[in-house]
A and B are shown apart, each in its own frame.
Chain A
Amino acid sequence: MSRKPHVRKQYWNEPVMGLWEKAYLPEILRGLAITGGVFLRNMFKWVTGRKGALTTYYPEETRWDYAPANRGKHVLTRRADGSPQCVACNMCATVCPAKVIEIEAGFDPADSAHPKYPVRFEIDYSRCVFCGLCVEACPEDAIRMAKEVPNLPTGDRWTMWLGKEELLEWQPQSDVAKPYPPAPPRAAGGERG
């Protein structure tokens, strides 16, 4: 019984090497020239005060090419009188998958239309997943997500919380024709009293 000779499998992309490639050394030198060239180019850039690296040195530097749909920060909208629109119903905190929203409700007997208001409204950005479910859940359009990205990264996770004051500090950039917060209604036709 004769043994079948071993036939090496032929691949469609079998590399074909000429004598030049098989000599090994010239191709090695070519590779070294490429990497060495990149090294020298980047070093020259560094010496002349430019950046050769493609990486972003993150907290100090941020990328310019964030996606247009990126929403990196929450904002609390305000009523015409400047008070937060939030009624502290805790719906956003309930729906939040990362459980990052903490709300402490307060009672305001003077405002009969909105007796409940948030005393504390805090978001932990070290855990937030930016899913936007809080915006979906909000019945009052009190919480939205803005395009800006808060510069929070530090070595301490307890400094990565944003409170009510920071979240209320929102000035819309795109719709400057209307004043924000909206102008208070005229005293005569006012619904509040």
Chain B
Amino acid sequence: MIADLVISLVFIGYAISVLMGFGTILTWVERKQAAVMSDRIGANRAYIRIPFTNVKLVWWGLFHGMADGLKMLLKEDFKPRTYDWYAYAVAPWVVFTPVLLVFAVIPFGGALTPARLWEPLAAFFGDKTYYMQIAKLDAGLLIIFAFSGLPIIGAMLAGWSSSNKFSLLGALRAGSQMISYELVLGLTTLGLILIYGTVDLDAIVRMQSGTVLGFVPAWGIVYQPFAATLFLAAAIAENKRIPFDLPEAESELIAGYFTEYSAMKMGLFMFAEFIEIAIIGALFTTLFLGGYNLPYMTDAGFAFPGGAAVAMPHAAVVVTQLGVFLLKVFLVCSFQILIRWTLPRFRYDQVLLFAWKFMFPLALANLVVTAVVVWAVRA
């Protein structure tokens, strides 16, 4: 019992530190990648001076994130004269908390047996095996959709309670856009659920460690390339980032639904956005890119298509899986940032037309084709 608690706390600590780390590092990655993509250098002036010396650590501008955080903490916390103060104060948390909660069901590693990791741990943990996932729920994917629907409420609360017309317009846009794309998001993953026959994310990852046709890794993106594209597009729209950043379009609405927020409240909105990039990366990795496993890799080691198998010690497998998961998530995040700095913003009517007249029928068609193929194969 105590052992389970300890393991859970360790996993929770790991998950939160990973998310916070991604949130912080992505602010830097976004700046730097945008700069490199447009032949610039990017932010690189902030430095930390080692006390009592003249050694200045610049580290390619990594400390700009710290400077930004400090700035947000020290800025004036402006409070607008709004009639619904409670909703105004609670809105950033309603946006921020579900984003963190989504990660609870995402597996960031395979099976972990502490006793096999290090002998003395056996005295405490016994012979138990844990799944590297905070909550191993059978309804994993459904939980994700339940939680990722909540930030809509936060965005609309923020826009409504700010008593600002720009905020209200941004909130309306956020509401209509996020609800539309939620639907597409759900429909694209339905095809995967049909193929894998489960919504347990760990089981989905385990099924992806096999092969198709003998040599292609059985990743979701191989089965459902179309759904993967639609999923990524809808997920970016969910996150309200360019090209779908209508709710916070700077040139039209100042900052959209969080116009009236300042200091760390505004920072929470920004931070939630950056963490959601990581969450989308984790979800995309889990559903379409084989999760924490390298191609041909299982919890036992590698099993190559030719029949060759390489057994790996347990510790090596655990470390590889954790590292591979982080790497895949980072690459997907980087791809999202690439999209964000490439495409121009949609017009408002185009966003909704794109959702309802383009992506929705395509997702439906994809689902129908998948269902027919799965039925034909199983029959």
* A42 and B36 contact, Cβ closer than 8 Å, known pairs A25-B229, A32-B338: yes
**Within the assembled complex, what's the spacing in Å between the Cα atoms of A36 and B339?**
9
* A55 and B338 contact, Cβ closer than 8 Å, known pairs A25-B229, A31-B343, A39-B33: no
Q: How far is the CB of B159 from chain A (nearest CB, A)?
A: 29
Q: Report B-chain residues with C-beta under 8 Å of the C-beta of A32.
A: 338-339, 342
In the complex, residue of chain B having the shortest beta-carbon distance to the beta carbon of A25 = B229
* A35 and B39 contact, Cβ closer than 8 Å, known pairs A25-B229, A28-B343: no
**Within the assembled complex, what's the spacing in Å between the Cα atoms of A25 and B35?**
25
Pick the residue among A25, A31, A52 that contacts B36 (CB under 8 A): A52
Please provide the chain B residues from 337 to 373 with a CB less than 8 Å away from any CB of chain A in the complex: 338-339, 341-343, 358
A177 at the interface (CB under 8 A from B): no
B378 at the interface (CB under 8 A from A): no
Pick the residue among A25, A54, A57 that contacts B39 (CB under 8 A): A54
A-B contacts, CB under 8 A, total: 41
Q: Report A-chain residues with C-beta under 8 Å of the C-beta of B339.
A: 32
**Within the assembled complex, what's the spacing in Å between the Cα atoms of A147 and B37?**
35
**Within the assembled complex, what's the spacing in Å between the Cα atoms of A52 and B41?**
8
Q: Report B-chain residues with C-beta under 8 Å of the C-beta of A98.
A: none
Q: Report B-chain residues with C-beta under 8 Å of the C-beta of A36.
A: 37, 338
Which secondary structure characterizes the binding site on chain A? Answer: helix
Question: Are B39 and A53 in touch, CB under 8 angstroms?
Answer: yes
Contact with B along A12-39 (1 / 0, CB 8 A): 0000000000001100100110111011
Q: Report B-chain residues with C-beta under 8 Å of the C-beta of A28.
A: 343
Residues of A within 8 A of B (CB): 24-25, 28, 31-32, 34-36, 38-39, 42-43, 46, 52-55, 57
B81 at the interface (CB under 8 A from A): no
Q: Beyond A24-B358, A39-B33, A43-B36, list 12 extra A-B contacts (CB 8 Å).
A: A31-B342, A31-B343, A32-B338, A35-B341, A36-B37, A36-B338, A38-B38, A39-B37, A42-B36, A46-B36, A54-B39, A57-B41
B40 at the interface (CB under 8 A from A): yes
Q: How far is the CB of A118 from chain B (nearest CB, A)?
A: 36
In the complex, residue of chain B having the shortest beta-carbon distance to the beta carbon of A56 = B41
Residues of B within 8 A of A (CB): 33, 35-41, 229, 338-339, 341-343, 358
* A38 and B40 contact, Cβ closer than 8 Å, known pairs A25-B229, A28-B343, A32-B338: no
Pick 11 A–B contacts, CB within 8 A, sort by A: A31-B342, A35-B342, A38-B36, A39-B37, A39-B338, A42-B36, A46-B36, A52-B39, A53-B39, A55-B41, A57-B41
**Within the assembled complex, what's the spacing in Å between the Cα atoms of A24 and B38?**
23
Q: Report A-chain residues with C-beta under 8 Å of the C-beta of B229.
A: 25
* A39 and B41 contact, Cβ closer than 8 Å, known pairs A25-B229, A32-B338, A32-B342: no
- In this complex, which of A43, A53, A57 has the most chain B Cβ atoms within 10 angstroms of its Cβ? A53
**Within the assembled complex, what's the spacing in Å between the Cα atoms of A24 and B40?**
29
In the complex, residue of chain B having the shortest beta-carbon distance to the beta carbon of A35 = B342
In the complex, residue of chain A having the shortest beta-carbon distance to the beta carbon of B44 = A57
- In this complex, which of B39, B229, B338, B341 has the most chain A Cβ atoms within 10 angstroms of its Cβ? B39
* A53 and B338 contact, Cβ closer than 8 Å, known pairs A28-B343, A39-B33: no
In the complex, residue of chain B having the shortest beta-carbon distance to the beta carbon of A33 = B342
**Within the assembled complex, what's the spacing in Å between the Cα atoms of A25 and B354?**
12
